[in-house]
């Protein structure tokens, strides 16, 4: 078994997961969040009772099979917050992964182990999932690239559902090049690629959610990008983030309860207290509230589609701050969650793709700058992110 000082991996015994002898991803190793099936392994979902009931899976999820068929080498399954339903990166049963980019601080989650394994250079890339930030949060906190693709573009078969209307499979990498190489394999051609000269729209409402030190560091990066990639427009693409956030919470918790109630009522699995509350809150979402939330989300999606057209990219902070200590996040949990979830709303509610770029000035700690593009622009969005990342790194002479 591998050495795993960051506790990124589940300690399952190795099973055979043969990859093709050649292919576009040959030479690259990858890890898979433990909510995605790999034949020969259980799918534990971060909860011991789920793990016990899982049994060893006999089918590999198509998204993993595609990577194996492209020659990538499977290196193991990674830790997740219980039921993939938290963005902290904490696990009370299996132990929380250690953030290699900010030891002592949370790694973010729920795709905690995948982000950590990439940040710690244990693998070249890793699959995660993102419903309302589960990939974006740990990417930002661990200082790596990550993509939440257009909803529905990557096959969710063999992936444990949380809230199916928002669930996506995405991936982490240390470089935009590797992020792109995986996208080449998993995404096919972009139905609506961005034009060569994309227009940037900086979302002031979203930047307003960043903590001052984070906002300052991201502004420096933005100014560097602007100097090289052209003028930014400024807007508030999502002016009603409070309502959107509540809509997302209602819909997510309702769908999460629907997805898991049979298991939870049958097994009463031990889970952390705040997760139990979130599941319970799903029971209280009325049909009226659900319908209103869905209508609000639909209006927002149309609004964002109009705003972005096929050539505009929204720029926003991935997370409101560098990774906090667990006690800090817990001490102000409601504020932490609301601030974070507001930033997750644009992509989660629209289904549009979001790429997060690591920004680390060495003082504030890991941050992420995000680009959100129109539906179906994923691969060209990664290409643009590569240019933005390069520009953001270059000091202004």
Q: Is 39 in the site for a copy of itself (CB under 8 A)?
A: no
Nearest CB to a copy of itself, comparing residues 148 and 260: 260
Question: At closest approach, how far in Å is the CB of 85 from a copy of itself?
Answer: 17
Nearest CB to a copy of itself, comparing residues 50 and 105: 50
What mask, x for binding a copy of itself by CB under 8 A, covers residues 84 to 103? --------xxxx--------
Q: Is 247 in the site for a copy of itself (CB under 8 A)?
A: no
Q: Is 257 in the site for a copy of itself (CB under 8 A)?
A: no
**348 has catalytic annotation:** no
Answer for which of 267, 280, 295, 325 binds a copy of itself (CB under 8 A) is: 267
Q: Please give, one letter per residue, the 3-state secondary structure of the chain.
A: CCCCCCCCECCCCCCCCCCCCCCCCCCCEEEEECCECCCCCCCCCCCHHHHHHHCCCCCCCHHHHHHHHCCCEEEEEECCCHHHCCCCCCCCCCCCCCCCCCCCCCCCCCCHHHHHHHHCCCCCEEEEEECCCCCHHHHHHHCCEEEECCCCCCCCCCECCCCCCCCEEEEEECCHHHHHHHHHHHHCCCCCCCCCCCEEEEEHHHHCCCCHHHHHHHHHHHHHHHHHHCCEEEECCCCCHHHHHHHHHHHHHHHHHHHHHHHHHHHCCCCCHHHHHHHHHHHCCCHHHHHHHHHHHHHHHHHHHHHHCCCEEEEEECCCCCCCCHHHHHHCHHHHHHHHHHHHHHHHHHCCCEEEEEECCCCCCCEEEEEECCCCCHHHHHHHHHHHHHHHHCCCC
Question: At closest approach, how far in Å is the CB of 287 from a copy of itself?
Answer: 31
What mask, x for binding a copy of itself by CB under 8 A, covers residues 46 to 85? --xx-xxxxxx-----------------------------
**347 has catalytic annotation:** no
Q: Is 232 in the site for a copy of itself (CB under 8 A)?
A: no
Nearest CB to a copy of itself, comparing residues 13 and 27: 13
Question: At closest approach, how far in Å is the CB of 335 from a copy of itself?
Answer: 28
Question: At closest approach, how far in Å is the CB of 120 from a copy of itself?
Answer: 16
| Window contacting a copy of itself (CB under 8 A); options: 24-32, 66-74, 211-219, 262-270 | 262-270
**110 has catalytic annotation:** yes
* CA distance readout (Å), 397 to 7, 234, 365, 388: 41, 25, 23, 17
Q: Is 280 in the site for a copy of itself (CB under 8 A)?
A: no
Lookup: tokens for 148: 């939440």
Nearest CB to a copy of itself, comparing residues 97 and 170: 97
> Burial code of 17-41, b = ≥16 C-beta within 10 A, e = fewer?
bebeeebebeebbbbbbbbbbbbbb
Q: Which of 96, 110, 112, 348 is catalytic?
A: 110
Q: Which of 96, 107, 114, 134 is catalytic?
A: 134
Q: Which of 19, 33, 50, 140 is catalytic?
A: 33
| Window contacting a copy of itself (CB under 8 A); options: 7-15, 113-121, 247-255, 342-350 | 7-15
Nearest CB to a copy of itself, comparing residues 117 and 385: 117
Total site size for a copy of itself, rule CB under 8 A: 25
Answer for which of 43, 44, 166, 316 binds a copy of itself (CB under 8 A) is: 44
Q: Looking at the annotation, which residues are catalytic?
A: 33, 110, 134
Which residues form the interface with a copy of itself (CB under 8 A)? 1, 7, 10-13, 42, 44, 48-49, 51-56, 92-95, 266-270
């Amino acid at each position: 078994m591998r050495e795993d000082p960051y506790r990124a991996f589940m300690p399952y015994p190795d099973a055979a997961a043969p990859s093709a002898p050649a292919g576009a991803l040959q030479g690259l190793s990858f890890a898979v969040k433990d909510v995605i099936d790999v034949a020969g392994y259980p799918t534990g979902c971060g909860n011991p009772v789920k793990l016990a009931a899982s049994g060893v899976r006999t089918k590999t999820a198509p998204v993993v099979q595609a990577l194996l068929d492209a020659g990538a080498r499977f290196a193991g399954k990674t830790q997740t917050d219980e039921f993939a339903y938290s963005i902290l990166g904490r696990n009370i049963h299996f132990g929380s992964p250690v953030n290699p980019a900010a030891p002592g601080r949370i790694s973010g989650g729920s795709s905690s182990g995948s982000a950590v394994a990439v940040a710690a250079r244990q693998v070249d890339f890793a699959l995660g999932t993102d419903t309302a930030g589960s990939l974006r949060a740990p990417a930002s906190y661990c200082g790596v690239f990550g993509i939440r693709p257009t909803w529905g573009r990557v096959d969710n078969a063999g992936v444990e559902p949380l809230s199916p209307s928002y669930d996506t499979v995405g991936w982490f990498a240390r470089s935009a090049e590797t992020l792109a190489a995986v996208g080449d394999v998993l995404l096919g051609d972009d139905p609506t690629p961005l034009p060569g000269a994309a227009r940037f729209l900086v979302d002031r409402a979203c930047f307003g959610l960043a903590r001052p030190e984070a906002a300052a560091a991201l502004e420096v990066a933005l100014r560097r990008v602007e100097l090289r990639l052209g003028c930014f427009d400024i807007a508030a693409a999502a002016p009603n983030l409070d309502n959107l956030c509540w809509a997302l919470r209602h819909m997510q918790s309702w769908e999460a309860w629907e997805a898991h109630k049979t298991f939870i009522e049958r097994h009463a699995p031990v889970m952390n207290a705040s997760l139990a509350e979130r599941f319970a809150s799903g029971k209280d979402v009325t049909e009226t509230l659900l319908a209103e939330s869905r209508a609000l989300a639909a209006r927002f999606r149309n609004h964002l589609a109009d705003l972005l057209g096929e050539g505009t990219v929204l720029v926003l902070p991935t997370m409101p701050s560098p990774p906090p200590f667990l006690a800090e996040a817990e001490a102000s949990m409601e504020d932490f969650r609301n601030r974070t979830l507001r930033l997750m709303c644009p992509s989660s509610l629209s289904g549009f793709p979001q790429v997060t770029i690591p920004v680390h000035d060495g003082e504030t700690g890991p941050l992420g700058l995000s680009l959100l593009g129109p539906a179906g622009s994923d691969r060209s969005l990664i290409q643009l992110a590569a240019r933005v990342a390069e520009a953001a790194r270059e000091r202004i002479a």
